[in-house]
Amino acid sequence: MHPDTERLLADIAEETRQTRFLTGIGELDSRVMAAMAAVPRHAFVSQELHSRAYDNGPLPIGHGQTISQPFIVALMTALLRPEACHRVLEVGAGSGYQAAVLSRLVTRVYTVEIVEPLASAAAERLKTLGYGNVEVRCGDGYRGWPEHAPFDGILVAAAAPHVPQPLLDQIKPGGRLVIPVGQPYSAQELLVIDKLDSGELRRRSVLPVAFVPLTGSLGH
């Protein structure tokens, strides 16, 4: 474990407590915290940012994209309610950090990244670090990954102006979608959408967030 990991975990725990009146979560699942502890965040940022890798904030990864704030990664992971038998889809692989965290909690992670250099780098990084249950594809995340659908859970790491219908279609009954929704660089909210066994959708807003915009078909 990196020497700064304990400090980061303490920061995540404190922010979880401070936002509990919004999220309804006062303490994150121990499995989620263990996954956060096990993933070396410095391996997912450039060398010059290693000294800031364990700060509880987002960092640039190039191409106008960021690696998300660790608290948000942990919260979204917890909201997805991952189980060991689950197969999940991530939209917006970025550096591969969120996928690495998820990979320690589920059977299989499929992650889509529209920026080809980021997708290639994430795939190579995850392979080198030994995350063998993650598959990366360069593509339009708005469309999901229909070849591997349906998914037990879908996590979207970029803000969409509305919830993409293809992603709703690719959730299993009993599954869950966690997605930030709102206009770019404006008011956004983190939504949890449950698909009931009947196919009915139930959604709730968790807290205000700030994400880079989801690109691809959604903007056309």
In this predicted structure, what is the pLDDT of residue 53? 96
pLDDT at residue 218 above 70?
Answer: no
State percent of the chain over pLDDT 90. Answer: 90
Tell me what pLDDT residue 210 has. 85
pLDDT, greater one: 126 or 214 = 126
How confident is the model at residue 220, as a pLDDT? 42
Of 178, 174, 210, whose CA–CA distance to 58 is shortest? 210
Phi first, then psi: give them for residue 177, nearest 5 degrees. -115, 130
Region 125-148 average pLDDT: 96
Question: Whole-angstrom Cα distance, residue 43 to residue 67?
Answer: 12
Q: Which residues are catalytic?
A: 68
State how far the Cα of 67 lies from the Cα of 59, in Å rounded to an integer.
5
Q: What mean pLDDT is reported for the chain?
A: 94
Provide, rounded to the nearest whole percent, the portion of the chain with pLDDT above 70: 98
| pLDDT one-digit tens code per residue, 5-30 | 999 999 999 999 999 999 999 999 99
- pLDDT per residue as tens digits for the range 184-194: 777 899 999 99
DSSP one-letter code for 214 = P
Tell me the pLDDT tens digit for each residue of 56-70. 999 999 998 999 999
The class level of CATH for 5-219 reads alpha beta
Q: Is the pLDDT of residue 219 over 60?
A: no
Does the pTM exceed 0.85?
Answer: yes
How many angstroms separate the CA atoms of 102 and 110, rounded? Answer: 10
In this prediction, residues 199-220 reach a mean pLDDT of 83
Domain positions in the chain: 5-219
